[in-house]
Amino acid sequence: MNWIRVAVMNWLLLPMAALAVQPAPATSVPSHAATADKAGANTYLAWRDHAVAALAGRGDADGYFGAAMLVHGTASGKYVQDAARVAPDDPDVAWMKWWKCPLLPGCDPAVAISHVRELEPDNAAAWIPDVKSAMASGDPFKVTDALNEVASRDRFDDHAWSIGRRAGLATIALQPPPEPRVSEASRLLFDIANAGHPMGMGGVYRLTVACSNLLFFRARFQACKAIAGLLQHSGDRQYASIGVALAYLLLQPEVYLEPGQSSSTGVAAEAPVASVPDVASASGNPEVASLISRHRAFVWRTLKWVKLQLEIDEDPTLAKTVQNAIRSQPNQIAMIATVLKERGVPLAPPEGWDPANAASTGK
């Protein structure tokens, strides 16, 4: 079993893959295989205990992040507290403390997110919780105010990339667990690169719902347009894709908003995210054509990126390329582009390529 990979997946929420890898047919497991698996589990547990001690023994935030990745529950929270003790004003640490606040004795989420905002007053991601709270209140004017607050910031970064990179690279530096059939360090590279969003995508999806509210569409238009731009430039492939779809919705609201829709629900959260059409729908509008082109590029690169994950165990050169890109690139989108270019994969799809068909065929 790929133990480090499981640890990362449990610690950071992985985004949905563009391609679903079909599992092999279920077969009965011989007793000797079960015995070997149990022995492997015991070996891993011994390695994990050593790894956690070594990582925590570093005494820095990266080591504590790595230790938190390998354990669960209150044990994970302890290492987050240790990180906060040694680096309280490190933005990654502040974000991690907010995410893990329920596991930390005496932690007040309101205080934790306030500290994040003090450290990064220009970061729109820190104001997403206010949109969630405003929508839960049922007061549409509070929702509009919360959207304006998010839109007034200069960038969007939930720190999932930087925290995952720091934790994972600290762990990779250790001797990997003795599992000869799987390159644990190589697999972990992809888990770092794909690391998702501990604060959850729900807050960002709520933005699309709030921006799709028919009665308040005009009042929120400028704020939502600014938010769409922030998401597109976030450096995160999921957020950027949502930003493109949201921008498209704002340019062509008639595609999603119909007379008679409930003002309380607007459109479904998934609608603007999943419905960017093909190039044929640009209708001569250059801004719409640009958004559709970006959408096609996102789907193309994601499909090519996911395919590489099937090759990394057997390709040490690919593993090194991914590791170098993770170390050198400032965000997930730049990292993926770097790896694809190194592998000779074009960053834009060929003429006539259809992302809707590609999502189902993988081509």
Return the pLDDT at 39: 64
Return the pLDDT at 279: 45
Return the pLDDT at 292: 87
Residues of the chain by 3-state class (helix, strand, coil), percent to 5: 65, 0, 35
Return the pLDDT at 217: 86
Return the pLDDT at 19: 25
Per residue of the chain (363 residues), give pLDDT as tens. 333 333 332 333 222 222 222 223 333 333 434 444 666 677 778 888 888 999 999 999 999 999 998 888 888 999 999 999 999 999 999 999 998 898 899 999 999 999 999 999 999 999 999 999 999 999 999 999 999 999 999 999 999 889 988 988 888 888 665 554 344 455 556 566 665 565 556 678 888 889 988 788 889 999 999 999 999 999 998 899 889 989 988 887 665 554 434 333 333 333 333 345 444 455 567 888 888 889 899 899 989 998 888 887 778 888 889 888 988 999 999 999 999 999 999 999 998 888 777 655 656
Return the pLDDT at 207: 86
Return the pLDDT at 267: 35
Length of the chain, in residues = 363
Beta strands in the chain (DSSP E): none
Return the pLDDT at 209: 87
pLDDT 10s digits, 189-217: 656 666 556 555 667 888 888 998 878 88
Among all chains, which residue has been given the structure tokens 């820190």?
126
Give the whole-angstrom CA distance, residue 230 versus residue 151. 8
Residues 6+ apart with CB under 8 A from 296: 278, 279, 348, 349, 353, 355
pLDDT 10s digits, 41-59: 777 788 888 889 999 999 9
Helix (H, G, I), strand (E, B) or coil at 139: coil
Return the pLDDT at 287: 85
Return the pLDDT at 340: 97
Return the pLDDT at 272: 37
Return the pLDDT at 147: 97
Closest among 66, 305, 56 to 164, alpha carbons compared: 66
Return the pLDDT at 196: 57
Please say whether the beta carbons of 109 and 98 come within 8 A.
yes
